[in-house]
Structure 1
Amino acid sequence: MYLVAIAWMYVVLMMAVAEAFSPQGTVLGALVTLVLYGLLPLSIVMYLMGTPRRRAARRRAEAAEAARAPASAQPDDGGHAPAAQSVDAFMAERKES
């Protein structure tokens, strides 16, 4: 994967150099060539090609976190927080006179 990226950047760099040093070319044109033909597309492709690796790393991290979590963290295994007890259970009863 990295070999293709290095080769592509080499080709784009040579295109930018040729643009900068040609009689009709400009340095601004060389920079635009470098960014629009090289850096931008390559960054998108590298990000997309790295997706499976990031997904696998996230799954490994989640599995390690689940292995470290105590078994009593979720007693009902429902995936939700336990329900709060009613406020009435904690309030003192008032006697009427």
Structure 2
Amino acid sequence: MYLIVVGWIYVALMMAVAEANHPDGTVLGAVVTFVLYGVGPVALLMYLMGRPARRAARLRREAQASVAPDAGGEPPADPVPPVREEP
């Protein structure tokens, strides 16, 4: 999958270079071309293709949390110590 991403970024970069070097082209046009044809679609593709990995990681974290919630075996300590009263 990364080979496709690298290839797409290369093609978008070459389009941006051609835009910047054209007599009627501008650097701003080259940047917009690179962002809209290169970075935008690649970011969307990577986000969508990474969904299964993110879901698996979330399920692993949930399974780990349900098996050993405190990972120590002891009950949690009282966060506020009791007030000591003098007799």
TM-score, structure 2 normalization: 0.77
Equivalent-residue separation in structure 1 for 2:67 and 2:3 (angstroms)? 37
Q: Kindly report structure 1 stretches of 4+ aligned residues shifted beyond 2 Å.
A: none
What percentage of residue pairs aligned between the two structures are identical?
60
Aligned counterpart, 1:31: 31
Count residues with an aligned counterpart: 72
String of CA shifts for 1:65-96, please: whole Å, max 9, x gaps: 111127xxxxxxxxxxxxxxxxxxxxxxxxxx
Uncovered stretches (5+) of structure 1, i.e. residues with no partner: 71-97
Q: Residues of 1 paired with 2:11 and 2:31: CA distance?
A: 14
Counterpart of 1:62 in structure 2 is 62
Q: Secondary structure at the match of 1:24?
A: coil
Matched to 1:47, the amino acid is Y
**Structure of greater relative contact order (alpha carbons < 8 Å, 6+ residues apart):** 2
Consecutive unaligned residues in structure 2, runs of 5 or more = 71-87
Q: Which structure: larger Rg?
A: 1
CA RMSD of aligned residues (A): 1.7
C-alpha distance in 1, partners of 2:69/2:23?
Answer: 67
| Equivalence for 1:45 | 45
AA of the residue aligned to 1:60: R
> C-alpha displacement at 1:22, in angstroms?
1.0
Please report how far the alpha carbon of residue 57 of structure 1 lies from its aligned counterpart in structure 2 after TM superposition: 0.5
Calculate the TM-score normalised by the size of structure 1: 0.69
